[in-house]
Structure 1
Amino acid sequence: MSHTPNPRHHDDSDEDAVETVIATGVDDEPVEPNRRLFTGWHWLLFSFLAIAYSSFHLISLNVYPMETWSFRIVHIAGALILGYGLYTGASFASEGESSPVSRALTWASYALLIPAIYALVQVFLIQNAMSGGAMRIEPAVETWHFGFPLIFATASAIVISWFHRRTRQHLCPSDLVLMVAAIASAGYLLIMFNSPLRASTGTSFAPIGISWAAIAGSLLILELTRRVTGLALVVISTIFLVYVFAGPYLPGFLGYPGLSLNRFFSQVYTDAGILGPTTAVSSTYIILFIIFAAFLQASKVGDYFVNFAFAAAGRARGGPAKVAIFASGLMGMINGTSAGNVVSTGSLTIPLMKKVGYPAKSAGAIEAAASTGGQIMPPIMGAGAFIMAEITGIPYTEIAVAALIPAILYFVSVYFMVDFEAARKGMRGMRKDEIPLFSKLVKQVYLFAPIIILIAALFMGYSVIRAGTLATASAAVVSWFSPNKMGPRDILRALQLAGTMAIQIIAVCACAGLIVGVISLTGVGARFSSLLLGLAGVSQLLALLFAMCISILLGMGMPTTAAYAVAASVVAPGLINIGIQPLVAHFFVFYFAVVSAITPPVALASYAAAGISGANAMGTSVASFKIGLAAFIVPFMFFYSPAMLMEGSWFQILRVGATATLGIVLLAGMVQAWFFGPVKAWQRVVMLIGALFLIYGGIYTDIAGLVIGGALFMMQRGAHGGGAKPVTSS
């Protein structure tokens, strides 16, 4: 990725302005440290597979729909095949590196292909038997000829892949075993779920082969999740899986009668678990919007978004920080991952923030907070809005509208945190010759058309799938009017990029589905609900604080989508049981799942930003927590003032929106110890009280907050005459 500020100083003539370049390569695909970079026929093969995978979804969603479970099984299997082909399980070996251990692991991996292929052959034989009129297969045949060879090959290849190192251009044979195992597992499930035996899942009559295929599939999902997102989600999933069989021995509300291995695994790979709401969303909405984002990237719209933000906000004090807010909000809304967005836009904005005077810690924190905010920005909201619509049954458009005021409050908070820090430290904006001319960029404003078409189509009543497909097609058409025209080769490149980008989120959603399956099949969610109900009998605020802590805890170290899916299964039903509206309960959980990315001690977005800024990771996460403070207060207001989620009369909504915005400004002033000048300690306490009154949303608290805010305003204006010298200058 390259971001090139123009090194020349030039006048303001149009000719020079045309040559000004601030951001290039924002749309370049970041390559993870454990991603293989194939060449030759390997590259052609996996490019073809990625293009075929993306095309399969577009065709199935728009032209030839498949049976639901079959579609989701193929969706996960395709991601597993691509994932094991592209991501290694161990670090890469250097060129020419070889050892007896490595050679032994290579031969062991090739040997494991025998049981894996044997299991796959059995799938074809089982298919022939079922087609020939067999009602079911002998359990001993399924166990000894399909189950044991499949589990042995899968588990052994996973362990070998942790230690087997090959160069970045070569595929490990152990990963080839895992790809075959993914095909065998999916193939068997497709056969059984398209037969009358599908109705037996979760009972003692279910074919044992379903359990073996589900165990192998679960192992494959867990290992791929480890490779693409790290250990956090895998550890949480493992704890939940252990609970399934340890539950009968646990005391108190955690105890339950227990499930046998066959009953649990024959049901967990159905719509009660892995094929449930999370995969339903990843196989429809998320994959579609990943393809949309890939088309935007291929047409270089990301570069335009960032340059537009520079032209609009670059000259304000602390300009690059304000650019980060706008650019990261726009990009984060589309790409659906806080840490990923930090990497793409932060590599440009963080160095520029440091250049105008922000400390490395603050620069990283601002980028992390802004990128995290993109997840709550309608209309796309990363991917959480789609999962919320799927779980709650509330129309997607209603969720997007409800998210509007909270998103505005979050970005107003981050903006004034940045502005007040810039004022306090006397930071400058960027010079006119450092940014592109706004008048030039306005001529390309049509590049916003795909997003406008998406929003318009959604609110005109089109389905999310149809609206997303229209927006994707419009991205290609709009590019024909820009310098980055998309021809057939670029369209294929976009489809390939989408297939690669989708691997992480699909693995995460499938893994989250495993947790959701445990929660629904063991009933632990209902027992958690009863615990919340007991707390609510003492104090509803106490119950909300407990729900907040659990939501953040479940989300730590996890991507937003998985964090919300798990928290929605555990926490949201409990909140609904204590009398909170479903929309309010799910938004409460969603917000805290999102901000877990900037909550110490495990703050993925903050850690990614610290890696770019060079600051201490924990210091950056504390600073980003402070900048995103509004996101920890606003969700409580959903409960006390539902008008914040567009529930109520227009007058109520406007009043709550306006006063809460003023409260957020006071909150930012309190945190940064600056309003129209330096703020004393006692004034900061008063500002906090005024901010909480205004954010609360009640008519009397609003009046009290306005009085406090007005008094502070007059006091500051009188003391500083409308401005103040900064504490330090840079």
Structure 2
Amino acid sequence: MTDRTDPEHTDAATEAATKFDFGAATRDLTGWQKALIAALCVAYTAFHLVVLNAVALDAWVFRAIHVNLAAVIVFALYAPFGRPGNRITLFDYGLSAAALAAVAYIWWTLDALIMRTGVLMTTPDIIVATLGIIVVIEFTRRSSGLALPVLAAVFMAYGFIGPWLPGILYHRGFGLGEFTTFVYSMEGVFGIATAAAALYIVLFVTFAAFLQASGVGEYFMNLAFAAFGRMRGGPAKVSLFGSVLFGMISGSGVANVVASGTFTIPVMKRGGYKASSAGAIEAAASTGGQLTPPIMGAGAFIMAEVTGIPYTTIIVAAIVPCLLYYLAVYTHIDLEARKRGIEGLPASELPDLKALLKDGCVLAPLGVLITYLFAGYSVIAAGSWGIATSVLVMLQRRLGLDTRLLIVPFLSVLLSVNLVSGLSANEHGFVAVIAGLVALGIGALVQRASGLGAAVKGTIGDIGGALALGTRQCLQLAAVCACAGIVVGVIGLTGLGGRFSALLLGVAGESQFLALLFAMIIALILGMGMPTTAAYAIAASVIAPALQRMGLPVLATHLFIFYFAVISTITPPIALSAFAGAALAGAPPWETAFKAVRFGLAAFIVPFLFIQNQAVLLDGSTVEIVRTCLTAAAGVWALATASEGWFLGRLPVLFRAGLGIAAILLIAGDPTTDLIGLILGAACIGLRTATARRATA
């Protein structure tokens, strides 16, 4: 297989794209400072794994360490202003000292703080809370830009000027002590969003880092090339499916685009796609990764915390909407390739599919994860033993053994979970890992593998590298969840959420559609300029109560809000993911953004189906689920075809309008609209086929 990189692509393009995601330049540390931060990165994720699996720690203390230790690492890695340099400044040491002092104070005075927070606060309480909030704001600014810190600052100002504001914005006002100690508590900074980040997001981001370090991420990309590279528009289809793996784990659309787009965009351009199309396809594909189960860009974990709905229920409900989204993007890509005559890549540039399928057992960590989840064990157990299985993959690669040996730990978990009752999750996992080690040991003897000591040493190095990588990928998520907690805390303290719900209900009246339209606009606006995780957490606290008061289902309501928070990153005028894709592709930003919206158009319509018909969330009778899913898929295809204006050649305006109307009717989810939509769509396709044949004759 030949090199698939593009010589035109430079580090400058990556730097231009990255500026949409990060608020400060990264330092290139040297000497003991570099070694210290590297050790802290390893310790950060290792600390989470130990607390989640072995050592009990108070929730407030755990979350405080989670936020503030991440802040210390960010203050070292990211410069506050101007040129990054290669040394940590005195200013950064001061901020780090404040962060560590806040952790120590919370840990030391925990019992007293629980009793007096927000009510009988002392002067030290106020000082620590104030410094802690400043740390969170600066932590977020450096790791994710200005948008969220500015929003948090506006809400903090509102907490003090409320007595002078009119209408629903009025509140009685709060003193500095009451305000800061409430916000810097389990009701604000260390609330639900930070809980999800500390308990689940770090775990699964670390799992992703272990997959990457063990070569599974590279395997996925090669599998995508082998499976789709030869197809019409192959480079774009590879981008679509290859972007899913990283996209489902990262909580930032821009980070997804930068991580996978640096590789896929040059290949698409070389294959014949316009630069703006290549950037838009990558933006739409990477953004959709956050809608993909089982991780959904960390959104599923926060949703489970906010709603109390089991995590497995959420990811099952999200399967069909995710497939509909990718069906739409795939249809757009295929039609774009037809219009431009773009063929697949030559076989000489593609990996061998049969050989890759033979190595499919490297996916054992994912198999273990899914087995645990659907056997009813905790998310923490599933992620932890998925990581442990990834270590076996690392060792197998270091020893150069047959990948089929990795089937042993997966089968061990699968059989023991289903056949052996009475064992705990950890006992099942321990047996599986021991069985995997035995299998690798036997394989090493049979294949007469040499260099066992070097392989073990290399695997230990891989583990350290994966832990450090997991920390770096967690930093922004930790920051935005903590900063979003400030906004959520102010909303709870001032009662703004309840008053806003009353206003929304009053404006919408009895119109459910109007209320949903307002909710969509608010979620899109909140999502512009900030990571999805924070946008959803804030939007859910403001919008969800109003929609639920109208009698809308809890899960459907939260998925509705989450979808629009996700696709806000490709929505003009602040389409950060699309702008990042444009920077990587060297394309006009606005043209790329509007193309990304067109490719992801289904995501603007399908969420309304959540509310209209929960069968698309796999909630209902079998017949209803099958009917709704099939007609929704037909509607999504018709919508993409009408949008592209291509079916057996360029579509006349009348046929495009007919297919567009049929698409809306099919997506609506009602049996009557489905029937009308099918008739109209079939008529349009039949007439278009007949006219195309006559034209050809």
Out of 672, 690, 706, the position equivalent to 2:644 is: 672
Out of 83, 95, 99, the position equivalent to 1:178 is: 95
Q: Does residue 600 of structure 1 match 2:599?
A: no
Q: Which residue of 2 aligns with 1:160?
A: none
Contact 1:663–1:694 under 8 Å retained in 2: yes
Distance 1:279 1:722 in 2: 63
Give deviations 1:98-131, integer Å, cap 9, x for gaps.
xxxxxxxxxxxxxxxxxxxxxxxxxxxxxxxxxx
Contact 2:5–2:266 under 8 Å retained in 1: no
Distance 2:579 2:371 in 1: 36
Out of 184, 207, 212, the position equivalent to 2:122 is: 207
| TM-score (normalised: structure 1) | 0.83
Kindly state the Cα deviation for residue 724 of structure 1 after the two structures are TM-superposed. 8.1
Q: Does residue 83 of structure 1 match 2:55?
A: no
Contact 2:5–2:263 under 8 Å retained in 1: no
Contact 2:394–2:462 under 8 Å retained in 1: no
Kindly state the Cα deviation for residue 452 of structure 1 after the two structures are TM-superposed. 2.2
Kindly state the Cα deviation for residue 642 of structure 1 after the two structures are TM-superposed. 1.4
- The RMSD of aligned alpha carbons is 1.9
Kindly state the Cα deviation for residue 431 of structure 1 after the two structures are TM-superposed. 1.2
Q: Which residue of 1 aligns with 2:4?
A: 5
Q: Residues 624 and 191 of structure 1: is their aligned pair in 2 closer, same or farther, counting only changes over 3 Å? A: same
Distance 2:70 2:642 in 1: 47
Distance 1:633 1:723 in 2: 34
Q: Which residues of 2 match residues 153-302 of structure 1 at below 5 A? A: 167=85, 169-192=86-109, 194-203=110-119, 205-302=120-217
Distance 2:508 2:553 in 1: 15
Distance 1:720 1:400 in 2: 43
Distance 1:458 1:171 in 2: 42
Out of 649, 652, 673, the position equivalent to 2:621 is: 649
Q: Which residues of 2 match residues 313-462 of structure 1 at below 5 A? A: 313-462=228-377
Identity %: 46
Distance 1:369 1:477 in 2: 34
Q: Which residue of 2 aligns with 1:509?
A: 481
Kindly state the Cα deviation for residue 264 of structure 1 after the two structures are TM-superposed. 1.3
Out of 480, 485, 494, the position equivalent to 1:522 is: 494
Distance 1:331 1:724 in 2: 44
Distance 2:66 2:541 in 1: 23
Out of 677, 683, 695, the position equivalent to 1:705 is: 677
Q: Residues 330 and 497 of structure 1: is their aligned pair in 2 closer, same or farther, counting only changes over 3 Å? A: closer
Q: Which residue of 1 aligns with 2:465?
A: 493
Distance 1:482 1:327 in 2: 22
Give deviations 1:192-212, integer Å, cap 9, x for gaps.
3x2234211121x22222221
SS in 2 for 1:429: coil
Q: Does residue 74 of structure 1 match 2:65?
A: yes
The 10-residue stretch of structure 1 (683-692 or 418-427) with the greater mean CA deviation from structure 2: 418-427
SS in 2 for 1:503: helix
Q: Which residue of 2 aligns with 1:696?
A: 668
Q: Which residue of 2 aligns with 1:103?
A: none
Contact 1:597–1:605 under 8 Å retained in 2: yes
Distance 2:299 2:354 in 1: 36
| TM-score (normalised: structure 2) | 0.87
Distance 2:329 2:471 in 1: 34
Contact 2:95–2:135 under 8 Å retained in 1: yes
The 10-residue stretch of structure 1 (368-377 or 446-455) with the greater mean CA deviation from structure 2: 446-455
Distance 2:359 2:162 in 1: 60
Out of 513, 518, 541, the position equivalent to 1:546 is: 518
Q: Which residue of 2 aligns with 1:43?
A: 34
More helix by share: 2
Give deviations 1:282-333, integer Å, cap 9, x for gaps.
1110010111111112112221111110111111111111111101112211
Q: Residues 357 and 602 of structure 1: is their aligned pair in 2 closer, same or farther, counting only changes over 3 Å? A: same
Count of aligned pairs between the two proteins? 626
Q: Which amino acid aligns with 2:89?
A: C
Give deviations 1:336-392, integer Å, cap 9, x for gaps.
321111111111111111112211111100000000000010111110000000000
Give deviations 1:395-415, integer Å, cap 9, x for gaps.
000000000110010000000
Q: Which residue of 1 aligns with 2:50?
A: 59
Distance 2:268 2:217 in 1: 19
Kindly state the Cα deviation for residue 335 of structure 1 after the two structures are TM-superposed. 2.8
Contact 1:444–1:482 under 8 Å retained in 2: no
Where structure 2 has 5 or more consecutive residues not aligned to the other structure, the ranges are: 7-13, 401-454
Q: Which amino acid aligns with 2:579?
A: Y
Kindly state the Cα deviation for residue 723 of structure 1 after the two structures are TM-superposed. 11
**Using CA pairs below 8 Å that are at least 6 residues apart, which structure has the higher relative contact order?**
2
Distance 1:336 1:676 in 2: 39
The 10-residue stretch of structure 1 (335-344 or 311-320) with the greater mean CA deviation from structure 2: 335-344
SS in 2 for 1:89: coil
Distance 2:508 2:551 in 1: 10
Kindly state the Cα deviation for residue 667 of structure 1 after the two structures are TM-superposed. 0.2
Distance 1:358 1:64 in 2: 53
Kindly state the Cα deviation for residue 241 of structure 1 after the two structures are TM-superposed. 0.7
Contact 2:278–2:585 under 8 Å retained in 1: yes
Out of 630, 640, 645, the position equivalent to 2:602 is: 630
Distance 1:224 1:621 in 2: 29
Q: Which amino acid aligns with 2:396?
A: F
Q: Residues 637 and 722 of structure 1: is their aligned pair in 2 closer, same or farther, counting only changes over 3 Å? A: farther
Distance 2:696 2:250 in 1: 40
Where structure 1 has 5 or more consecutive residues not aligned to the other structure, the ranges are: 8-25, 93-165, 726-730
Distance 1:723 1:319 in 2: 29
Give deviations 1:50-75, integer Å, cap 9, x for gaps.
11111111111000120111111111
Contact 1:532–1:578 under 8 Å retained in 2: no
Distance 2:220 2:694 in 1: 34
Contact 1:186–1:213 under 8 Å retained in 2: no
SS in 2 for 1:195: helix
Distance 2:695 2:326 in 1: 24
Distance 2:88 2:694 in 1: 65
The 10-residue stretch of structure 1 (444-453 or 652-661) with the greater mean CA deviation from structure 2: 444-453
SS in 1 for 2:336: helix
Contact 2:3–2:349 under 8 Å retained in 1: no
Distance 1:674 1:450 in 2: 42
Q: Residues 574 and 723 of structure 1: is their aligned pair in 2 closer, same or farther, counting only changes over 3 Å? A: farther
Contact 1:328–1:370 under 8 Å retained in 2: yes
Q: Which amino acid aligns with 2:464?
A: L
Q: Which amino acid aligns with 2:105?
A: Y
Q: Which residue of 1 aligns with 2:587?
A: 615
SS in 2 for 1:612: helix
Q: Which amino acid aligns with 1:357?
A: G
Distance 1:397 1:522 in 2: 34
Kindly state the Cα deviation for residue 722 of structure 1 after the two structures are TM-superposed. 11
Contact 1:673–1:679 under 8 Å retained in 2: yes
Q: Which residue of 2 aligns with 1:480?
A: 395
Q: Which residue of 1 aligns with 2:424?
A: none
Q: Which amino acid aligns with 2:525?
A: L
